[in-house]
């Protein structure tokens, strides 16, 4: 069978798969398209049955930025997401490296305890966290949100990095140490470059989880300018009215950084998620 005949034989199946993929993509993209369209609707057209507005109100993005604390909320969210991600990586990397390379007593118990921490929902600990940070006078603090988000995302990072580092042959480190590198040098020059997909996966998941966090931000912050973006956007929902155009304009602003970040490192995330699947 020639290559052309094989292509003809597979063409109907390929078209079916492609059509199904496009259909599923449209289903997932339609809510985002609706969000963008609503963000551009004038206030007097919010109840119109037409899908597209008669006039596009680009000023909605200017008004929501000027007349609310959205800029300050975005800055808080960037600080919290970036700070939580850095803190998680600083703690998870040495913990995962030691767990993957050293067969010490209690290793399985440690991994089990790490897994158990994933079973606790942040909402079940909010009362205790609020009382603790209240006594420490740390409410309305960016550092409070950084510590909480890092704590709740640390277990996932340790697990995925342990799996990835464990899949890297230990002989590579031994060869580097024979050439004169110490343990830290081998970790920095050999393990980290090879484990970069796993590191990027932990980074993106921690960043997105901290970026989208709502409950802790709502509970541990009360000043509007100290609240994260998710809580600030929720302020457009009133007791009797909802400013839909401003609500969706703020939502568009909120998703753009995450979409850009994920698009830039999507390949490394996929390879990181399959880490340790093949020995």
Kindly give the confidence (pLDDT) of every residue in the chain, 279 residues in length, as a single tens digit, with 9 standing for 90 and above: 454 555 555 577 778 888 888 888 888 888 888 888 888 888 777 777 777 888 888 888 888 888 788 889 999 999 999 999 999 999 999 888 888 887 777 777 877 887 777 777 778 888 888 999 999 889 999 999 999 999 889 888 988 888 888 888 888 877 877 777 777 777 788 888 888 888 888 888 899 899 989 999 999 998 888 999 999 888 888 777 788 888 888 888 888 888 887 777 766 665 555 554 444
Domain hosting residue 147, numbered range: 69-273
How many Å separate Cα 227 from the centre of its chain? 18
Co-location of 233 and 148 in the same domain:
yes
Query: Are 99 and 18 found together in one domain?
Result: no
The CATH number linked to 94 is: 1.10.3720.10
**At which residue do the structure tokens 């969706």 appear?**
248
> Which residue, chain included where needed, has tokens 């697990």?
159
**Count of H-run helices and E-run strands, the chain:** 14, 0
Same-domain pairing of 127 and 263: yes
DSSP state of 173: H
92 and 131 within one domain: yes
Cβ proximity of 232 and 65 under 8 Å: no
Query: Are 237 and 112 within one domain?
Result: yes
Same domain? 181 vs 243: yes
Number of structural domains (the chain) is 2
Strand partners, 242: 237
Give the number of C-alpha atoms closer than 13 A to the C-alpha of residue 148, restricted to the C-beta side: 31
Q: Are residues 230 and 96 in the same domain?
A: yes
Q: How far apart are CA 215 and CA 122, in angstroms?
A: 8
Evaluate whether residue 188 is within a structural domain.
Answer: yes
* Residues 187 and 254 occupy one common structural domain: yes
* CA–CA distance, 248 with 242 (Å, rounded to integer): 11
Query: Is 74 found in the same domain as 34?
Result: no
Are 97 and 26 in a shared domain? Answer: no
pTM: 0.81
In a domain, 243, yes or no: yes
Report helix, strand or coil for 278.
Answer: coil
Same domain, 82 and 14: no
Residue 265: strand, helix, or coil? coil
Residue 47 lies in a domain: no
In a domain, 221, yes or no: yes
User: Are the CB atoms for 158 and 96 separated by under 8 Å?
Assistant: yes
């Amino acid at each position: 069978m020639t290559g052309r005949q094989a292509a003809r034989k597979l063409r109907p199946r390929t078209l079916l798969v492609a059509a199904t993929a496009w259909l599923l993509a449209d289903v997932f993209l339609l809510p985002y398209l609706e969000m963008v369209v609503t963000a551009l609707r004038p206030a007097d057209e919010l109840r119109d049955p037409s899908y597209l507005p008669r006039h596009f109100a680009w000023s909605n993005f200017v008004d929501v930025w000027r007349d609310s604390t959205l800029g300050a909320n975005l800055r808080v969210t960037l600080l919290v997401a970036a700070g939580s991600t850095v803190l998680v990586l600083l703690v998870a990397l040495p913990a995962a490296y030691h767990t993957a390379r050293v067969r010490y007593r209690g290793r399985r118990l440690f991994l089990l305890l790490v897994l158990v921490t994933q079973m606790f929902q942040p909402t079940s600990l909010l009362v205790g966290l609020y009382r603790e940070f209240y006594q420490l006078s740390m409410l309305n603090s960016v550092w409070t949100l950084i510590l909480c988000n890092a704590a709740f995302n640390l277990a996932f990072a340790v697990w995925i990095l342990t799996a990835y580092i464990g899949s890297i042959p230990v002989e590579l480190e031994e060869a580097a140490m024979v050439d004169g590198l110490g343990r830290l040098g081998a970790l920095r020059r050999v393990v980290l470059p090879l484990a970069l997909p796993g590191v990027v996966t932990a980074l993106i998941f921690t960043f997105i989880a901290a970026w989208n966090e709502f409950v802790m931000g709502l509970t541990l912050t009360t000043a509007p300018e100290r609240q994260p973006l998710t809580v600030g956007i929720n302020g457009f929902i009133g007791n009797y009215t909802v400013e839909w155009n401003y609500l969706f304009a703020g939502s568009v602003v909120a998703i753009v950084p995450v979409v850009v970040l994920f698009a830039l490192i999507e390949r490394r995330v996929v390879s990181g998620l399959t880490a340790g699947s093949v020995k």
